[in-house]
Structure 1
């Protein structure tokens, strides 16, 4: 690769000898002092800027095989709206999944990437969307396996309160929950 000149007229030069890496160039194409970057640092920078672009674009990259990226389908508003498209960036081939149930073993190379995405992005539990003032029956593991208490949602972000106990609505200790029927509790 020759010198790369960015839109702001600064450049990057690939260095092969003696230590592979990059050098930064001023607008006049002279080498900026103290600008040498080793090949390991170049790799770290590439991954950093790729991750930055992934976040900006709204895609998720599979760590086990970074050629596979996942785009959530923001146009599909049909519940549960967990639709995704998995792309192999190297080949341009993709596969669409309506939800986790679509990972059925017949998607070949795309199924592991889709499964990893769904594992990394579990659907939110209903109690994580509780509103202040609502009453919920919650099962909380740290209180014992069969402990179910009535909890009131309060604040933002939501915490549940029962007597003197409280727990964050996003806590992993909450394993089950259902909203108490408002009419039955009145």
Structure 2
């Protein structure tokens, strides 16, 4: 079952049969049991259907100002202000001008950070990483989680050091040193 939480806190979910359920934190009615839909219910459903349509069209809606939609492209984004029809195309480096369109592009880039090379590390590789400002060598190892196998970095410079996940925000830079990256 997929769930969508509207900005007013209402939860809309669609079950495997395609039926909708509308819940709030205060009442646990479902659409098929509720005698009527109030304004909050209607607003939540409107946002739900809009979010479904955005996903179908492959666009991202700026949560802070939903009138702006962003279409990700290969090397840039296309931003449209739906109310005015104004549009902009920008790369990650170009989205710094203080206009609504650029702020929407920047918000998209902030919400979708550029993948870093170490995010795709494979077990058995050796990386030079900058972790909390210190650059050292780490070996990538496979670790088993509750329901998954994932990669972690094990520091080679300390005996009792803590491992770091590949997407840990404490990593600020890195490069694979083994096997060597071919040019």
Query: Shorter-chain TM-score: which interval?
Result: 0.5 to 0.7
C-alpha displacement at 1:135, in angstroms? 0.6
Cα deviation, 1:135-168, whole Å, max 9, x if unaligned, reads 1011222xxx43x331112335321123553221
- TM-score, with structure 2 as normaliser: 0.66
Give the paired residue count: 140
Kindly indicate which of the two structures has a greater share of residues assigned to helix.
Answer: 1
C-alpha displacement at 1:181, in angstroms? 5.1
Q: Secondary structure of 1:85's partner?
A: strand
Find the aligned partners of 2:140 and 2:92 in 1 and give their Cα distance: 29
Q: Is the 8 A contact 2:96 2:103 kept in 1?
A: no
C-alpha displacement at 1:172, in angstroms? 1.0
1:89 aligns with 2:82: yes
Q: Where does the alignment leave 5 or more consecutive residues of structure 1 unmatched?
A: 1-23, 25-31
172 and 33 in structure 1: CA distance in 2 versus 1, 3 angstrom threshold: closer
4+ runs deviating over 4 angstroms = none
C-alpha displacement at 1:89, in angstroms? 1.5
- TM-score, with structure 1 as normaliser: 0.66
* Alignment partner, residue 43 of structure 1: 43
1:161 aligns with 2:168: no
Q: Is the 8 A contact 2:96 2:106 kept in 1?
A: no
Find the aligned partners of 1:160 and 1:56 in 2 and give their Cα distance: 37
* Alignment partner, residue 178 of structure 1: 175
Which of 133, 136, 139 matches 1:152? Answer: 139
119 and 63 in structure 1: CA distance in 2 versus 1, 3 angstrom threshold: same
Q: Where does the alignment leave 5 or more consecutive residues of structure 2 unmatched?
A: 1-30, 143-148
